[in-house]
């Protein structure tokens, strides 16, 4: 089996690091959204906007991980 392409493997690692960072943001934002929830109806719009941002962050992390997986597959077959 040939050696994996080092450039693609580096890209995969960088994408995974970015996804990890987004996961940390996701967790912190979820906790923040939970703390806003008890503040009553005046905070509802802020919480809703934060919830949308949190879910988009999660989707981006998933997409980055998928891209990393694809780079890794390409690196293993290209090498």
Can you list the alpha helix ranges (DSSP code H) found in 1-79?
6-37, 44-78
The pLDDT, as a whole number, for residue 1 is 64
- 51 versus 62: which is more confidently predicted? 62
Residue 4 pLDDT = 85
**Length of the chain as a residue count:** 79
pLDDT tens track for 7-57 = 999 999 999 999 999 889 888 888 887 777 677 777 877 888 888 888 898
pLDDT score for 70: 94
SS3 assignment, position 38: coil
Q: How far apart are CA 56 and CA 11, in angstroms?
A: 22
């Amino acid at each position: 089996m040939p050696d994996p392409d080092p450039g693609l493997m580096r890209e995969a690692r960088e994408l995974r690091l970015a996804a990890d960072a987004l996961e940390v943001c996701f967790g912190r934002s979820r906790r923040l959204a939970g703390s806003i929830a008890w503040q009553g109806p005046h905070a509802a719009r802020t919480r809703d906007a934060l919830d949308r941002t949190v879910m988009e962050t999660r989707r981006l992390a998933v997409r980055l991980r998928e891209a990393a997986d694809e780079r890794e597959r390409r690196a293993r077959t290209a090498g």
